[in-house]
Amino acid sequence: MKTAAEYEESLRKLNLKVYLQGELVENPVDHPIIRPSMNSVKMTYALAEKSEYQELMTATSHLTGKKVNRFCHLHQSTDDLVKKVKMQRLLGQKTAACFQRCVGMDAINACDSVTFEMDQKLGTNYHERFNKFLLQMQEEDWTVDGAMTDPKGDRGLAPSQQADPDLYVHVVEKREDGIVVRGAKAHQTGAINSHWILVMPTISMGEADADYAVSFVAPADAEGIYYIYGRQSCDTRKLEGGTIDVGNSQFGGHEALMVFDDVFIPWENVFMCGEYEFSGALVERFAGYHRQSYGGCKVGVGDVLIGATALAADFNGVAKATHIKDKLIEMMHLNETLYACGIACSAEGNKTASGNYLINMLLANVCKQNVTRLPYEIARLAQDIAGGLMVTMPSEKDLRNPEIGKVVEKYFVGVSSVPTEDRMRILRLIENLTLGTAAVGYLTESMHGAGSPQAQRIMISRQGNLAQKKELAKAIARIETK
Amino acid sequence: MKTAAEYEESLRKLNLKVYLQGELVENPVDHPIIRPSMNSVKMTYALAEKSEYQELMTATSHLTGKKVNRFCHLHQSTDDLVKKVKMQRLLGQKTAACFQRCVGMDAINACDSVTFEMDQKLGTNYHERFNKFLLQMQEEDWTVDGAMTDPKGDRGLAPSQQADPDLYVHVVEKREDGIVVRGAKAHQTGAINSHWILVMPTISMGEADADYAVSFVAPADAEGIYYIYGRQSCDTRKLEGGTIDVGNSQFGGHEALMVFDDVFIPWENVFMCGEYEFSGALVERFAGYHRQSYGGCKVGVGDVLIGATALAADFNGVAKATHIKDKLIEMMHLNETLYACGIACSAEGNKTASGNYLINMLLANVCKQNVTRLPYEIARLAQDIAGGLMVTMPSEKDLRNPEIGKVVEKYFVGVSSVPTEDRMRILRLIENLTLGTAAVGYLTESMHGAGSPQAQRIMISRQGNLAQKKELAKAIARIETK
Amino acid sequence: MKTAAEYEESLRKLNLKVYLQGELVENPVDHPIIRPSMNSVKMTYALAEKSEYQELMTATSHLTGKKVNRFCHLHQSTDDLVKKVKMQRLLGQKTAACFQRCVGMDAINACDSVTFEMDQKLGTNYHERFNKFLLQMQEEDWTVDGAMTDPKGDRGLAPSQQADPDLYVHVVEKREDGIVVRGAKAHQTGAINSHWILVMPTISMGEADADYAVSFVAPADAEGIYYIYGRQSCDTRKLEGGTIDVGNSQFGGHEALMVFDDVFIPWENVFMCGEYEFSGALVERFAGYHRQSYGGCKVGVGDVLIGATALAADFNGVAKATHIKDKLIEMMHLNETLYACGIACSAEGNKTASGNYLINMLLANVCKQNVTRLPYEIARLAQDIAGGLMVTMPSEKDLRNPEIGKVVEKYFVGVSSVPTEDRMRILRLIENLTLGTAAVGYLTESMHGAGSPQAQRIMISRQGNLAQKKELAKAIARIETK
Amino acid sequence: MKTAAEYEESLRKLNLKVYLQGELVENPVDHPIIRPSMNSVKMTYALAEKSEYQELMTATSHLTGKKVNRFCHLHQSTDDLVKKVKMQRLLGQKTAACFQRCVGMDAINACDSVTFEMDQKLGTNYHERFNKFLLQMQEEDWTVDGAMTDPKGDRGLAPSQQADPDLYVHVVEKREDGIVVRGAKAHQTGAINSHWILVMPTISMGEADADYAVSFVAPADAEGIYYIYGRQSCDTRKLEGGTIDVGNSQFGGHEALMVFDDVFIPWENVFMCGEYEFSGALVERFAGYHRQSYGGCKVGVGDVLIGATALAADFNGVAKATHIKDKLIEMMHLNETLYACGIACSAEGNKTASGNYLINMLLANVCKQNVTRLPYEIARLAQDIAGGLMVTMPSEKDLRNPEIGKVVEKYFVGVSSVPTEDRMRILRLIENLTLGTAAVGYLTESMHGAGSPQAQRIMISRQGNLAQKKELAKAIARIETK
């Protein structure tokens, strides 16, 4: 397995083409806007080095029997599924941000069973190809971007009906040695911090969209691939040079548009090509795993937000007020409700035909549906307790100013035993998580990542077994079924 | 194990003294108001006889290695804890009511570890006595009432401070052969359908309340014990003789006041007598197990309510309306959220010193806290979909009236293919669950059973580890801990 | 104006045909199940006699300049609209039940402007007929049942498409002297306590349903009209003879099915006959007024529930607990939010073409939409504070039993200074309002009365002016409108 | 009255000392971070010039009978109170931001009645002084900063108990010609855009804090006053030069710390000096008026957010999806609920002893309490409908880049008929309102402005008349009051 330092080093060797604010970035690893997101991924390597986190951070490969980073692992039991969630909570606690590497883990777990089932039914050899890639990924300890979401254009139209055929990634040429793909993937989490990309289709497709039913892997710096970095609320505070106003100076996340400008993919890296009837299963399983993920990572970030809020109450001198204590309890209650859902869909997982474990689909969707709601309420309560100063405080530069710095210190003190700077730090962290760069992950991504709320409702409807419930009611009400 | 028929027979042999509506009941088993609750308990025996439910309904005794009803079992693994919740959901689905037997199961599991720890620390021999009782309970397949809640009088005063010393059960005499107890236990679920009673203290106590720190078992018909049956919303509909207006003609639940009028308890049946410092642990663990329980039983009842509501929509001809479908999804989402909490606190359980398994206390309290909220919203949505007819419909007697019965049939038809009677049956079931006898269990008991909401909040506060969360936030905000 | 005594007397003179529990009722006024609802209507007369309530309870007729009961009045100003809401809150406070007379007031106010506009457009003379009836209604101080809701059968089909043509009230014969109508009106609030009935169509209709577009008045005991009384949760407790278990021994509400078995209506009493294009306006305005009403009456009932809950806390000895105080504040906050909506839609009312005042339609629908939610939460909080005893207490007969009455008194005491009976009374009142007869009005009727929630959402959608909001957003975002 | 141009000109003449990001600002009016907030205040002058807004924007002075800007007016009727709310909704719609001038209007209305009552009771002549100031304010059409909130230090300590005596504004010297004050006011809305400051105490005070019970007016650029500008989420985007990424390029709001460094105030400008027993009334009334205000301004901003969200749905091609329509209805429902509260507390206002009108205090607090909740849910729903692109989109500079601008246009198109730039504009506006500079006003200020949620709960508790509600319940339950 790679050390954290080796991970950073390996990224420097990539030849990524990244645009940010209208300019090509020379050195993504050290760019102040990008670097905190790299630090978050790096933490997935760093913690795997520490003995106290071995059980959560690593696993034993079913391919080789060797120890691998859990992010490269196929879940071999419900215990593995539970540990995945606990690892994600841990990383959320340590970074207070999106650590990005989950998409790859969720993608390989989805691809494993779907390629296996494709081969079973169609006689293809996708699963073998996939296993070869997986082996390499485990050996090299790669960070992989599981790339699913296409730009989609008009949501009312299918891929092949769009005015521009490229609004979904598709095969533009099939050659003897491979395929050429064109299009883009939007909202790509951690794309700039990844070694490889695993592309999957984004919706269940019909025959007319067969060219869009394509899945493959490619090196992140393959010829024809480039990135446009997404901007986040308060992103440019990272260019100001301080450590207070950014809220979280060490960690962050990112999303980017990933463009495929006629990229060649050799056949050995292709896992689906036209088998549209399997696109739905791949989408559903990847989404399912990722909906489970949010029952871990968002809970970890929530832990930090709750801790920060409790500190704000301490610093304001109100920690003993009953309504403050009650709101903190409510925040913990909501946060643990999410965790309960993450644990439950894992503990209730099942073995797939290929041998790895799938979460309980109904509960994973219930988990994510709660994630689209409860963090918003947790954030609202955090703002309630923090107080308005969170959004009216002067800047770090004012605090550092030799003349008015003292005035800032004098008037923004809370309880006299706590330095004003510490109070500002904690309030800026709450701002970061509820309005700033991290709110992108803690709130908006909680809403839309792994599928928007309506997607979960459709799944809940399908999985909820209403027919059985009707039979139960008939039995109690003594209604004869004809 | 007893068959369902044997269970009913065994109850007939008891010599219970039960008051109901100001009169002594001759034959509780056949009393029309009581009988449906007996049927619910009976179902815990009936399903244990069926091969398809063996895995959930039975377990292997750690004392004897024999198969026992799971209600008499000490949980030997997290798997046992999970199965307990699934068994409860199943029984909720089959009865749409409180099946009452959980209190005994939760009581024995709490007593096991607490008596063990008492003996370890104090050199007492309570655990041995407890084991003897447990062995008999398993052999006889008894239904046991785990009796905790005292009447409490003025909630602002401790047991020994009350104007009347009997408002909490207490020891009034210690004799060589045993103790004499006085007082009462309120809200006793399933008391009239139980063979034995396992009494526990209801709050954590101090030295001054040592006489109130008492735990013991007694036969339900012991000398000096009598019962006053609690009345429920719509209870007397069961005296009307029909099967529609009662909503659920087969099953129900009950609570009763259980009075101890100087009852003698031999030492071998005493499990705590004055060791007040262990009263808190016993309360907390029993409550913890019982808070887990609600993540199963209420979910099963919820399944029936959701099914009934979906049928009401079918019968009204609105099943395809988008807002109806969306509300049904919401009901399922909320119901499964409760289930997720029930599963999670089980899967995350831990082994106690005595060897049985305890649920994760934080998640069990989170589970119950959600149970104090979500069923109310599910019930509200059920009433939304059912329509106002649920509360304005004529009576069953009107339907059966030779003259106006036809008018009722004519005007209360929904879709023409469904008999009016079926529509009435389903609406009465929804009424039963949201306003009637079953609402007592599905709503008010969801609020107060296993401890009122504030009790869970106190536990969440204690278990939530706010101190660790503050440290996490300090690390992210780069605040040095002094 | 009638005195309360005269009102009761006048009802005795009616020759109503009422079925209840499969039997024809001899004397509805004194029937123990019906009488409490009569008492509620009677209160609308009684308070009008008291000088301190003159301003709210009475108004000056725009027809005669005489003082009339406000329930017979056409609103002449926004001040009248506001006073209507305040009168309703007052009556809710005094009865803790549905006082039923609003439907008539809302019906006459809707009919006034719609008949005027029909005449304006079509040259009919409905408004003159209506005025004649109104004059008499004011002179006689009648209680009028505004009857709108048809049984509706299959909700997916229009009136004329139903398998049975009678599922909506319709004209079966047009004669020179009048019309003959057949069908039924369901959920008729206060029907048995009314002198006259004002029938209106229940939905917006098209040409095919012209025969169903019919509005008229008829004496409540006209030939061919009969009633089947709707049963309510806990209704038969009123037959038990006590005053505790009923919760509210004095007041109640009722709904009934009103059947029109080929009833002849002379032309002078017909206000619409075939003018289907005006059916929508009549429905919308009646519903609008009635949605306003709920911002008054339900708030008054809410006041009683909040008061009862506060007393329960006092009696339990927990009134000073912070969480109790906070929940009572929340209950008041929610209740006053409903009131604010009732006041706002009144204060923002507008003059109609006929001269009376119409509420602000958008805000009236917002008011009712909140009424479908907030009382359920208020009720949930009431149950939280009341404690489980509310549903597990013995019956009044147990309390009165010479032998065990003392036991009931002993063990169900709260703070020692309050008699157990008082505590039982207050808990039974909370039961009554959240599960019993009054829950029918406070909860289910809050949901469905004046139109189910979805009906309000459709109106909010229509009235919300989304197009203007889009223009506002374009101006801010600097998007040019093409 | 001043024209908009004259207003801007008058600001240029002020000699304000403003620090922003550690530097003294040369020209606040043209500073790109400050200017949008000035534009919002300017709109209060601009709309007053337009004939269509005369009724809302202007009023007739009770002092001079001349037309004045409503922001300088004392409310003379409930109609004035209602118009105030409508004016605020209008301005919210036109600026999608905080237009800041309300604090002055609310301050003069509070000071009017309180100074009158002080004079009545104590024989002081504060009201005369106040009237002189008010006359000038109306003549000059000043924008006045109503300054209440002190920094407060340790919330657990009274002003005189703080470690630093300056954490609340206080009198440090009383001279023959006036007083000298020291301290600061935090979160000062619109301070940099104001001509004068009206200082009020921030809490109800006791005798020990008499020196802190001080109210006065001062020119915004008085000797010894300086400002430190508060930073907002995404504030520096305004320095980037574009019009898209800022979301709202024209309007904004601001808060600042206002420091009083031994400022001299002549007696004629002092309205309270030591009369601590009136500090509570002044706080309560100012807060009351300001809680009403939020029922207007936030609703107007909400209108823009709803409009923007509806456009986002149009541009995404999902406007016809039922769940989208339903969420837009919910947003309107919630927004109008706030408006209903704003209208209701106005329509139910009362005349004060001094002759101006006070809102209904209970309903104003209910209004604000809802404002601390519903905008957060509206914002959550906006993010739901907008989609994740809102936080992952590239920057304006990427769109303008000659090379990759086309790629951005290609891949971020929605429905093909709408330019990508328009889609980006609308998404950036939603970002602005839910995470960016405007979220500070729409969310966090909705929480804390005019008092934090707990402050309203205390007022609801005091105003809710629980004692009367208990009497109502006793009457219904037939409990005799001793």
Query: What residues in A contact B326, CB-CB < 8 Å?
Result: 457
For residues D231-260, give the mean pLDDT.
98
Round to whole Å and give the CA distance between C276 and C280.
Answer: 8
Total number of domains constituting chain D:
1
Average pLDDT, rounded, for chain B: 98
Q: How far from the centroid of its chain's Cα atoms is residue A444's Cα?
A: 12
| In the block, residue with structure tokens 């060897």 | B355
Please give the order of strands across the beta sheet that includes A214-219: A144-147, A196-199, A214-219, A270-273
Asked if D322 is an interface residue toward chain B (Cβ–Cβ < 8 A), one would say yes
Chains in contact with B, where contact requires at least 3 CB pairs less than 8 Å apart: A, C, D
Residue type, D173: E
Residue of B nearest to D327 (CA): B323
The dihedral formed by the CA atoms of A351, A353, A356 and A359, expressed in degrees to the nearest 10: -50
- Chain D residues 434-463 with a CB less than 8 Å from chain C: 457, 460-461
CATH number at residue B310: 1.20.140.10
- Chain A residues 8-27 with a CB less than 8 Å from chain B: none
Three-state SS for B403?
coil
Residue C482 has what pLDDT? Answer: 65
Query: What residues in C contact A325, CB-CB < 8 Å?
Result: none
Asked if B322 is an interface residue toward chain D (Cβ–Cβ < 8 A), one would say yes
Would the CB atoms of A387 and D452 count as touching at under 8 Å?
yes
Any domain includes A59: no
Query: What residues in C contact D332, CB-CB < 8 Å?
Result: 460-461, 464, 466
Span A73-82, pLDDT tens digits: 999 999 999 9
| Rg over CA atoms, chain D | 24
Asked if D308 is an interface residue toward chain C (Cβ–Cβ < 8 A), one would say yes
For residues A169-174, give the mean pLDDT.
98
Any domain includes C298: yes
Please name the helix (run of DSSP H) or strand (run of DSSP E) that holds residue A44, with its range, or none: helix A35-49
Alpha helices in C50-77 (DSSP H): 54-57
pLDDT bin (cut points 50, 70, 90) of residue C424 is very high
Any domain includes B377: yes
Any domain includes D373: yes
Span D390-408, pLDDT tens digits: 999 999 999 999 999 999 9
The token pair at B339 is 């289930």
Residue B480 has what pLDDT? Answer: 87
Return the bridge partners of D351, or none: D357
Round to whole Å and give the CA distance between B22 and A473.
Answer: 34
Angle CA A477–A479–A480, to nearest 5: 150
Residue B482 has what pLDDT? Answer: 65
Residue A254 has what pLDDT? Answer: 98
Non-local CB neighbours of D121 within 8 Å, separated by 6+ positions:
none
Q: Nearest-CA distance from D350 to chain A in Å?
A: 31
User: What is the domain extent for residue A396?
Assistant: 282-472
Three-state SS for B188?
strand
Please name the helix (run of DSSP H) or strand (run of DSSP E) that holds residue C128, with its range, or none: helix C126-140
Cβ atoms < 10 Å from Cβ of A6: 12
Span D137-156, pLDDT tens digits: 999 999 999 999 999 999 99
Residues lower than pLDDT 70 in chain B: 482
Query: What residues in D contact B326, CB-CB < 8 Å?
Result: 322-323, 326
* Strand pairing category for D350-351 and D225-229: unpaired
Nearest residue to D186 (alpha-carbon basis) of D155, D222, D163: D155
Would the CB atoms of B476 and A337 count as touching at under 8 Å?
no
CA distances from A320 to A273, A329, B75, C327, D397 (A): 62, 13, 39, 19, 49
Round to whole Å and give the CA distance between D367 and A388.
Answer: 19
Q: b/e map of D182-221 (b: 16 or more CB within 10 Å)?
A: bbbbbbbbbbbbbbbbbbbbbbbbbeebbbbbbbbbbbbb
Round to whole Å and give the CA distance between D170 and D172.
Answer: 6
**Do residues C90 and C299 lie in contact, with contact meaning Cβ atoms separated by under 8 Å?**
no
Catalytic residues of B: 98, 102, 189, 255, 290, 294, 297, 445
Cβ atoms < 10 Å from Cβ of B71: 31
Return the bridge partners of C173, or none: C180
Cβ atoms < 10 Å from Cβ of A357: 21
Span C146-200, pLDDT tens digits: 999 999 999 999 999 999 999 999 999 999 999 999 999 999 999 999 999 999 9
Any domain includes B100: no
Catalytic residues of D: 98, 102, 189, 255, 290, 294, 297, 445
Non-local CB neighbours of D245 within 8 Å, separated by 6+ positions:
A231, D237, D395, D396, D428
CA distances from A418 to A321, A439, D166, D187 (A): 19, 27, 17, 21
**Do residues C331 and C121 lie in contact, with contact meaning Cβ atoms separated by under 8 Å?**
no
pLDDT bin (cut points 50, 70, 90) of residue A480 is confident
CA distances from A321 to A314, A316, A385, C320, C323 (A): 10, 11, 11, 15, 12
Round to whole Å and give the CA distance between D38 and D42.
Answer: 6
Three-state SS for C184?
strand
Residue C342 has what pLDDT? Answer: 98
Would the CB atoms of D429 and C471 count as touching at under 8 Å?
no
**Do residues D370 and D293 lie in contact, with contact meaning Cβ atoms separated by under 8 Å?**
no
Round to whole Å and give the CA distance between B218 and D107.
Answer: 71
Round to whole Å and give the CA distance between C220 and A307.
Answer: 67
pTM assigned to the model: 0.98
Is C127 a known active-site residue? no
Return the bridge partners of C270, or none: C216
Nearest residue to B452 (alpha-carbon basis) of A146, C386, C317: C386
Q: Nearest-CA distance from D242 to chain C in Å?
A: 12
Q: Looking at residue A141, what DSSP letter applies?
A: T
Span B223-277, pLDDT tens digits: 999 999 999 999 999 999 999 999 999 999 999 999 999 999 999 999 999 999 9
Round to whole Å and give the CA distance between A251 and D377.
Answer: 28
Residue D480 has what pLDDT? Answer: 87
| Rg over CA atoms, chain C | 24
Any domain includes D110: no
Round to whole Å and give the CA distance between B140 and B308.
Answer: 37
Any domain includes C301: yes
**Do residues C334 and C459 lie in contact, with contact meaning Cβ atoms separated by under 8 Å?**
no
Q: Nearest-CA distance from D431 to chain A in Å?
A: 8
Q: Nearest-CA distance from A481 to chain B in Å?
A: 10
Over 70: is that where the pLDDT of A482 sits?
no
Q: What are phi and psi of B414, to 5 degrees?
A: -105, -115
Please name the helix (run of DSSP H) or strand (run of DSSP E) that holds residue A216, with its range, or none: strand A214-219
Q: How far from the centroid of its chain's Cα atoms is residue B210's Cα?
A: 28
Round to whole Å and give the CA distance between C373 and B190.
Answer: 34
Query: What residues in C contact B445, CB-CB < 8 Å?
Result: 388, 391
For residues A29-36, give the mean pLDDT.
98
pLDDT bin (cut points 50, 70, 90) of residue D482 is low
Q: What are phi and psi of A92, to 5 degrees?
A: -65, -40
Span D295-336, pLDDT tens digits: 999 999 999 999 999 999 999 999 999 999 999 999 999 999
Q: How far from the centroid of its chain's Cα atoms is residue A142's Cα?
A: 16
Round to whole Å and give the CA distance between C313 and C388.
Answer: 13
Mapping DSSP onto H, E and C, the string for chain D reads CCCHHHHHHHHHCCCCCEEECCEECCCHHHCCCCHHHHHHHHHHHHHHHCHHHHHHHEEECCCCCCEEEHHHCCCCCHHHHHHHHHHHHHHHHHHCCCCCCHHHHHHHHHHHHHHHHHHHHHCCCHHHHHHHHHHHHHHHCCCEEEECCCCCCCCCCCHHHCCCHHHCCEEEEECCCEEEEEEEEEEEECHHHCCEEEECCCCCCCHHHHHHCEEEEEECCCCCEEEEECCCCCHHHHHCCCCCCCCCCCCCCCEEEEEEEEEEEEHHHEEEECCHHHHHHHHHHHHHHHHHHHHHHHHHHHHHHHHHHHHHHHHHCCCCCHHHHHHHHHHHHHHHHHHHHHHHHHHCCEECCCCCEECCHHHHHHHHHHHCCHHHHHHHHHHHHHCHHHHCCCCHHHHHCCCCHHHHHHHCCCCCCCCHHHHHHHHHHHHHHHCCHHHHHHHHHHHHCCCCHHHHHHHHHHHCCHHHHHHHHHHHHCCCCC
Residue of C nearest to B167 (CA): C411
Asked if D233 is an interface residue toward chain A (Cβ–Cβ < 8 A), one would say yes
Any domain includes B292: yes
Round to whole Å and give the CA distance between C80 and C67.
Answer: 14
The token pair at C254 is 């009722």
Cα-Cα-Cα-Cα dihedral sign, residues A187, A192, A194, A197: positive
Q: Is there a binding annotation on residue D420?
A: no
Query: What residues in C contact B187, CB-CB < 8 Å?
Result: 388-389, 392
Round to whole Å and give the CA distance between C251 and C432.
Answer: 11
Nearest residue to A152 (alpha-carbon basis) of B118, B337, D315: D315
For residues D416-443, give the mean pLDDT.
98
Round to whole Å and give the CA distance between D156 and D122.
Answer: 31
Asked if B343 is an interface residue toward chain A (Cβ–Cβ < 8 A), one would say yes
The token pair at D371 is 């404002």
Average pLDDT, rounded, for chain D: 98
Residue A422 has what pLDDT? Answer: 98
Over 90: is that where the pLDDT of C420 sits?
yes
Is C294 a known active-site residue? yes
Residue A225 has what pLDDT? Answer: 98
CA distances from A310 to A243, A329, A332, B474, C354 (A): 21, 10, 11, 11, 61
